[in-house]
């Protein structure tokens, strides 16, 4: 596997010789150690000919991670030198595995050919240097990236001066850039919403100062991130950040960029410094940092994102998520933008309306939508190709991609101009026309139809584009025909029909004959023409003066042709980078159009409607459907699937209650009836609506949701020492502490992870707090049927249940949500469906009958009658109800009840007590 490339000096291989006790280090190993020492924390890809080699500890790590052979050659400090290597042509594949495993790689290239090194002496080492540090957040190659997902490098800055409930005295800011596309944004945040912002951004790598990294309050956040890189505090120096950013963008001042807070500048400065360090002088085409306001997007915490499976399922897969279900994009840039919109739904109704206007236009204009999607499907990923061009990593195919993308953009702009389009599409079309049309024409004229992957291979400039190149190529190609003619002449003159003129990288051109015919070339007069070069096992090789002269001409012509192509390539790169800003704007516009057309197609295919998103507190959904489950049922319809049952949901303030808060629905019903689906679908409808998409419903009127909270399902978090119930309580606490009047909260089975009465008490108090303190819109699903009694005293609490039908001893789930309350959970029927043994099911029925004989409504009624609301602890008590007239029968029943302790009664005693109560109620 580890081979010496042709022309590589033997001293380049790590086989130093020990000389007694005074072991020496070879020049090559000394160079390797020097470069490795200068790049701590990174595996060193050390270029040697056609391989990247790794030595010592790096080799051991790489061999384990990549599953490649580890060898040992020579010695260093008395120990064998471990080594392994990967072919240069497959380096991206191996880099991907190493980065995915959490490693960083320093790529060390040969900066000169071995022949140049030999001029300095026979044992001189080829000059090498690190040209790039590869980290999870600085990838640009398509082979290393997910085309439909952003690859974000983020930095978190913290400066003193903060105030607020968290009381930590700090201000926070995040800067986040994707150097593969050039996007660059900054935003202020705080300790309370930091986790939510990190979950929204999903950084591939997060940069933090050493002190922040070690902060015990923040350490739990790092656990959920793929890569966190601590940096010295100087990287976040706010005093030098502005100068560093200005230098990167080659401007004298940042005044034209807008106003940024100290923490924002520190975070952006750290990003710029890290990019400069890892790219070693290459400058990615980052856009000027755009400031995001903390109130621009709906806040969704990590637990809610995981519960709702917005971008990925709980297993980490894209398939089965909301994003996968609604994605109809035809470009990778469009897919990335759609994911970003779903991750950060807007909170400004005007901006939402602009997006919806564009979608509605393409819903109605079927022909335009079809034409746009056909053209978009032909457009390559402009943004990522542009980034590689700017960083000097582009090949001919990247330039061609930019040319094609710009050409399609021109056609798409013309299609939109010809239609009566809303502002969102008109603005995008204007951006598409911002690039000089001559650039696309030049790239198309210059680049051939069939292109190599790498520029060094040559052959990518179209014939007819450059006269000088055409002439040089003609000479090169004619020389090849001359070689064939010379071979025919040699065959005729010598009479050796098997004589061939061949070529390799070591000998160049040579004459090859079999051993049987070799004597013929050694006889006069041919011995004066042919000079022996090499003896092989079955053949002998010769050269001639004429052949050597011809080789020089061919070599010269080929080298000149390749040099001309390289020069033309650099000219094309210069033309592209000269219009970086316009090309980036064009790429963003194509993504916007793709997302708009995608959402329009989704709306048509899935019978979705335009939502009305406004500033009020309404939340009215008619005929709402779960966008993921509905599609899954449709796919499975041939088996056991069926049509999705649509349901209404109205959490708007009660009729006539101007200025009042929204409702909370208390949803009861049996297991498997669809409560969780109903809860989730309404949350997903809110996300889609505020992201600017049509929604799966007959009607949707939604007052902007500022924060979305979901607690649906939970699992152990053993790494943090949390049980399932503890996880549930932590998530519930976050909701009760942060939800506002404009929030939407969905809670499923609060309190089910502990003892019955503990759980009921927690659920009871939580529901009161949501109603009285948070005053939010919410859906609260529960099996604690006792909670339905709270609707008697909580004015905005509405009971709803999922209908079921019992038939012949079986339960049929109708999945229809209707007003009212369930009195049973049908858990035993579900257990039977799950396959519990018959004996267990029947025993459970008997136990349930015994338990239900004890009247559990009485304790609930006492709480309603005697215990003040949770809110009474913090607010004035509600006005007392008017005194009721004395009722002797009621007094008798109450007296009888006072003497009963249901928990201590046998079934027979309970039955007798029931008869006594009945007699008292009749006045007897």
Q: Rounded distance, CA 191 to CA 210, Å?
A: 18
- Alpha-carbon span 790 to 101, nearest angstrom: 52
Gap between the Cα atoms of 52 and 44, Å rounded? 9
Residue 669 in marked binding region: yes
d(CA 702, CA 619): 5
DSSP string, 272-311: HHHHHHHHTT----PPPPEEE-TTSB-EE-HHHHHHHTSS
* C-alpha torsion angle, residues 250, 254, 257, 261 (rounded to 10): 140
Q: Under 8 Å CB-to-CB from 104, ≥6 apart: which residues?
A: 41, 42, 43, 133, 134, 135, 136
Radius of gyration of the chain (CA): 37
User: Distance between terminal CA atoms of the chain?
Assistant: 101
Distance of CA 693 to the CA centre of its chain: 20
Torsion of Cα atoms, 513 then 516 then 521 then 527, to 10°: 130
Distance CA 888, CA 829 (A): 44
State the helix-helix crossing angle for 545-577 and 467-494, rounded to 10 degrees.
160
Question: Would the annotation count 334 as a binding residue?
Answer: no
Supply φ then ψ for residue 684, to 5 degrees: -70, -35
Does residue 676 have a known ligand-binding role? yes
3 is in an annotated binding site: no
Burial class (CB in 10 A: 0-12, 13-18, 19+), 213: middle
Confirm or deny that 48 is annotated as ligand binding.
no
Q: What is the spatial distance between Cα 404 and Cα 380, in angstroms, rounded to a whole number?
A: 7
> What are the CA-CA distances from residue 316 to residues 302, 310, 592, 882 (Å)?
13, 11, 26, 58
Helix, strand, or coil here: 26?
coil
**Is residue 675 a known part of a binding site?**
yes
The DSSP code sequence of 625-655 is --HHHHHHHHHTTTTT------EEEE-SPPT
Measure the CA–CA gap between 245 and 254, rounded to whole angstroms: 8
Which residues sit in the known binding site for ATP? 669-676
Which residues sit in the known binding site? 669-676
């Amino acid at each position: 596997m580890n081979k010496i490339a042709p022309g590589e000096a033997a001293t380049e291989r790590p086989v130093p010789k020990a000389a007694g006790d005074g072991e020496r280090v070879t020049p090559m190993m000394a160079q390797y150690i020097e470069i490795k020492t200068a790049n701590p924390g990174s595996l060193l890809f050390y270029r040697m000919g056609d391989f990247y080699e790794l030595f010592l500890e790096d080799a051991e790590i790489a061999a384990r991670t990549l599953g490649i052979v580890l060898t040992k050659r020579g010695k260093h400090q008395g120990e064998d030198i471990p080594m392994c290597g990967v072919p240069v042509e497959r380096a991206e594949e191996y880099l991907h595995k190493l980065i995915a495993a959490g490693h960083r790689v320093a790529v060390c290239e040969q900066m000169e050919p071995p022949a140049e090194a030999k001029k300095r002496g026979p044992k001189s080492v080829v000059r090498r240097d690190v040209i790039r540090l590869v980290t999870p957040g600085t990838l640009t190659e398509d082979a290393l990236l997910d085309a439909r997902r952003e690859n974000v490098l983020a930095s978190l800055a913290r400066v003193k001066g903060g105030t607020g409930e968290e009381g930590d005295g700090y201000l926070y800011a995040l800067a986040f850039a994707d150097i593969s596309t050039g996007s660059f944004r900054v935003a202020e945040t705080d300790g309370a919403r930091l986790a939510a912002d990190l979950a929204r951004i999903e950084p591939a790598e997060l940069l933090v100062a050493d002190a922040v990294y070690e902060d015990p309050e923040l350490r739990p956040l790092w656990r959920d991130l793929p890569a966190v890189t601590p940096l010295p505090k100087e990287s976040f120096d706010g005093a030098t950040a502005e100068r560093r950013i200005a230098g990167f963008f080659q401007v004298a001042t940042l005044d034209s960029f807008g106003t940024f807070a100290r923490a924002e500048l520190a975070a952006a400065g750290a990003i710029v410094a890290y990019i400069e360090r890892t790219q070693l002088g290459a400058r990615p085409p980052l856009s000027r940092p755009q400031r995001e306001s903390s109130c621009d997007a709906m806040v969704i915490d990590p637990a809610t994102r995981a519960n709702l499976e917005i971008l990925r399922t709980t297993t980490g897969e894209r398939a089965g998520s909301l994003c996968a279900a609604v994605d109809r994009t035809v470009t990778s840039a469009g897919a990335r933008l759609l994911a970003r919109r779903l991750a950060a739904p807007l909170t400004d109704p005007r901006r939402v309306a602009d997006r919806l206007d564009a979608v509605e236009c393409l819903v109605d204009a079927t022909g335009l939508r079809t034409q746009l999607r056909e053209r978009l499907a032909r457009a390559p990923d402009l943004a990522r190709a542009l980034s590689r061009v700017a960083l000097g990593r582009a090949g001919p195919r990247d330039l061609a991609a930019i040319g094609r993308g710009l050409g399609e953009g021109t056609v798409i702009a013309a299609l939109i101009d010809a239609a009566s389009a809303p502002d969102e599409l008109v603005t995008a079309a204007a951006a598409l026309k911002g690039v000089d049309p001559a650039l696309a024409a030049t790239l198309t004229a210059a680049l051939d139809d069939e292109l190599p992957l790498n520029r060094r291979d040559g052959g990518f400039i179209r014939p007819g584009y450059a006269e000088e190149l055409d002439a040089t190529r003609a000479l090169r190609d004619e020389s090849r025909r001359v070689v064939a003619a010379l071979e025919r002449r040699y065959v005729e003159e010598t009479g050796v029909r098997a004589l061939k003129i061949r070529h390799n990288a070591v000998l160049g051109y040579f004459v090859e004959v079999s051993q049987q015919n070799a004597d013929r070339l050694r006889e006069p007069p041919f011995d004066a023409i042919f000079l022996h070069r090499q003896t092989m096992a079955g053949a002998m090789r010769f050269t001639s003066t004429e052949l050597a002269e011809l080789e020089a001409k061919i070599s010269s012509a080929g080298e000149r042709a390749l040099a001309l192509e390289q020069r033309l390539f650099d000219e094309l790169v210069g033309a592209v980078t000269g219009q970086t800003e316009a090309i980036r704007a064009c790429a963003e516009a194509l993504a916007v159009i793709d997302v708009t057309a995608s959402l329009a197609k989704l709306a048509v295919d899935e019978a979705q409607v335009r939502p009305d998103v406004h500033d009020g507190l309404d939340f009215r959904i008619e005929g709402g459907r779960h966008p993921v489950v509905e599609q899954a049922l449709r796919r499975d319809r041939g088996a056991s699937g069926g049509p999705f049952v649509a349901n209404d949901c109205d959490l708007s303030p009660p009729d006539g209650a101007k200025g009042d808060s929204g409702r909370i629905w208390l949803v009861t019903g049996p297991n498997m009836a669809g409560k969780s689906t109903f809860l989730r679908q309404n949350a997903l409808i809110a996300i889609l609506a505020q992201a600017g998409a049509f929604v799966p419903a007959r009607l949707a009127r939604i007052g902007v949701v500022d924060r979305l909270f979901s607690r649906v399902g939970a699992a152990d978090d053993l790494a943090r020492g949390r049980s399932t119930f503890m996880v549930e309580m932590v998530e519930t606490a976050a909701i009760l502490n942060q939800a506002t009047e404009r929030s939407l909260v969905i809670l499923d089975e609060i309190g089910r992870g502990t003892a019955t009465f503990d759980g009921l008490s927690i659920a009871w108090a939580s529901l009161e707090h949501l109603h009285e303190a948070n005053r939010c819109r919410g859906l609260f699903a529960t099996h604690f049927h006792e909670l339905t009694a709270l609707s008697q005293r909580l004015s905005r609490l509405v009971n709803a249940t999922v209908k079921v039908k019992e038939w012949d001893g079986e339960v049929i789930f109708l999945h229809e949500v209707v007003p009212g309350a369930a009195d049973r959970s049908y858990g035993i029927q579900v257990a039977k469906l799950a396959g519990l043994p018959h004996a267990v099911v029947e025993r459970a029925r008997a136990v349930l009958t015994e338990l239900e004989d004890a009247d559990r409504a009485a304790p609930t009624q006492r709480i309603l009658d005697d215990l003040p609301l949770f809110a009474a602890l913090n607010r004035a008590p509600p006005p007392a109800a008017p005194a009721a007239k004395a009722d002797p029968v009621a007094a008798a029943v109450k007296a009888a009840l006072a003497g009963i302790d249901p928990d201590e009664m046998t079934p027979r005693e309970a039955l007798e007590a029931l008869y006594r109560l009945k007699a008292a109620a009749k006045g007897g």
